[in-house]
Amino acid sequence: MTSVTLAPNQSLLPLTATTQAGHLTIGGCDLVDLVQQYGSPLYVLDEESVRQACRQYRQAFQTYYPGQSQVLYASKAWSCLAICALVAAEGLGIDIVSGGELYTALEAGVSPQLLYLHGNNKSRAELEYAIAMGVTIVVDNFLELELLQQLPPARIMLRLTPGIECHTHEYIQTGHLDSKFGFDPNQIETALEMVAHSQLNCVGLHAHIGSQIFELQPHRDLGSVMIKWLAIAQAKFGLTFTELNIGGGLGIRYIESDDPPSIDAWVRAVTEGVSDACAKANLPLPKLLCEPGRSLIGSACVTAYSVGSTKTVPGIRTYITVDGGMSDNPRPITYQSSYRALLANRMDEPATELVTIAGKHCESGDVLIRDFPLAAAQPGDILVVPATGAYNYSMASNYNRLPKIAAVLVNQGEANLILKRETYQDLLRQDYLPQRLQTPVLS
C-alpha cells in the first residue's frame, strides 16, 4: 500500500507502515497493541513522516531557490504542543490564525520571530497579543490596517487575493476573486498607499490560493502575479518588500486514485515561478515563505477505531459501525471527502466484502467511507483510516457529547501520548448549573 520512494504526501499510509504477523505497525508500534494501551478511537501520528515532510520542503527550497526561504507549518491543520515543537525542531516557523494557535505555538517554545498571524477578522486583543510577542501580522483588510495604526508598531505583510482559480472543493478555495480573504486587485493599491504613509513595518506580500490542490500551474502563476505586485509596490509607492509568502495548498493522497505532485515538484514549480518573474521584472529574489499544513501532517496520521455492529440492508449495502465518526473526522460530512480503511489485525486477509463504514453519531450522514472492499470484519477488529492528520483533530467536536479522542506520537517502537482522551468530567468543564435549577422540579 505504501512505498518509501513516495513523498509523504503521496503515500496513503505513513512512511513507516509495515505488516508484521498480519498486524499493521506504524513507527515500530503494533496498532492493535496501541489501541489496547491507549483505547479507541485513537489518532496515531508517525514522527518520521512528519520529519521527512519538513525536510523535503526545506531541502527542495535549498535545491531550487538561490534566495532565502522559510517554511512555515499552517498549524490550523493540527495545532497542539507536540506538533508545534516537532516542526519547530525541524527548522519550520508556524502560521497561526487565532490567539489560541498563537498561545499553543508559544507554549511549545516556538520563537515569535517565526510566527505569522493570519485571519480575516482578528480581534484587537489578538493583534495586541501578537504585537507584544513580536509576531508578524498578515493583514487581511482595511479595518485591520486602520486598527493597527492605533497599536504599537507592528511587523506586517499584506494578504492579496490574486484572482487565481484552482480545482478543489469550493469551501477550501481562497485565491479566486469571490473570496472573503485578503485585498482584491482593485483594493491593493489603496492598501499599499496607506502602508506607505504609516509607521507600519511592512515587509512583504502574502497569498494563499486554496487547499488540496493537485495542479502545479496555479502556484507557478502565483509567483508571477505576486512579483508583479512587488514591483508595483516599489515603483509606485516606494515600498521595498523583502518577503513573499505563497501560502500552502499542496494536496495529499486520501484514496488510491489521488495523485498529488511530490513536495519536491511543488517547491520546484513555486520557486521557478518566482525566480522567472523576478528575472523578468529585474527584481532581487525576495525571501520566499510558504505555509503548508495538510502536506506536512495529513499523511502522517491514521485513526484507529474498534469495529462494532454490522447491518446489512439486503440488495443495498452493508454498514459496519465504528466507535467514532464525524466528531473525530468531520471531513466526509463537511466536504464529501473520500477515505479508505483497512483492518489492522487482518492485514494478510483479502478484501472480500463491499462495506460502508458508519460512525456512531445520531445522524444518518455520519458515514466515513462508502462502498469499498474490506476483509471480513468482526466486532472488536481494529479498523484503521489513513490520512487523518490534517483538519481532523483541529475540526473535531464533542457532538453527541463524545469525548475528544487521544493521540499518540510513534517513533522507533516508542509511543508517547500527545493528546489525552477527554473524560466525561472534561465535557462538563465549562458547564454551570444555575442555582434555581439545582433542585429537580416535580410537577
Which residues contact ligand LLP by CB under 6 A?
74, 76-77, 95, 118, 172, 174, 208, 211-212, 247-250, 291-295, 331, 335, 390-391, 395
C-alpha angle with apex 296: 294 to 299, nearest 5 degrees?
A: 70
Residue 207 CB, nearest distance to ligand LLP (Å)? 9
CB closer to ligand LLP out of 211 and 356 = 211
Query: Does the annotation mark 84 as catalytic?
Result: no
CB closer to ligand LLP out of 51 and 346 = 51
Q: Which of 272, 327, 262 is nearest to 292 (CA)?
A: 262
Q: How far apart are CA 60 and CA 64, in angstroms?
A: 6
Residue 167 CB, nearest distance to ligand LLP (Å)? 13
Residue 97 CB, nearest distance to ligand LLP (Å)? 7
- The 8-class DSSP code of residue 395 comes to G
299: which 3 cell numbers? 499523511
Q: How far apart are CA 108 and CA 99, in angstroms?
A: 14
Residue located via cell numbers 474498534: 306
Q: Which of 119, 176, 167 is nearest to 144 (CA)?
A: 119
| Residue 403 neighbours by CB under 8 Å, 6+ apart | 421, 422, 423, 424, 426, 427
CB closer to ligand LLP out of 59 and 120 = 120
422: which 3 cell numbers? 477527554
Peptide bond into 403 cis (omega under 30): no
The CB-nearest residue to ligand LLP is 248
CB closer to ligand LLP out of 76 and 253 = 76
Which phi and psi (to 5°) does residue 24 adopt?
Answer: -80, 130
Question: Strand 367-374 and strand 42-46: pairing?
Answer: unpaired
Residue 182 CB, nearest distance to ligand LLP (Å)? 9
Residue 361 CB, nearest distance to ligand LLP (Å)? 18
| Residue 185 neighbours by CB under 8 Å, 6+ apart | 160, 161, 162, 163, 177
Residue 393 CB, nearest distance to ligand LLP (Å)? 11
- Residue tagged active-site, from 29, 84, 202, 362: 362
CB closer to ligand LLP out of 38 and 78 = 78
CB closer to ligand LLP out of 387 and 415 = 387
| Residue 214 neighbours by CB under 8 Å, 6+ apart | 167, 251, 258, 259, 260, 261
Residues recognised as catalytic = 362
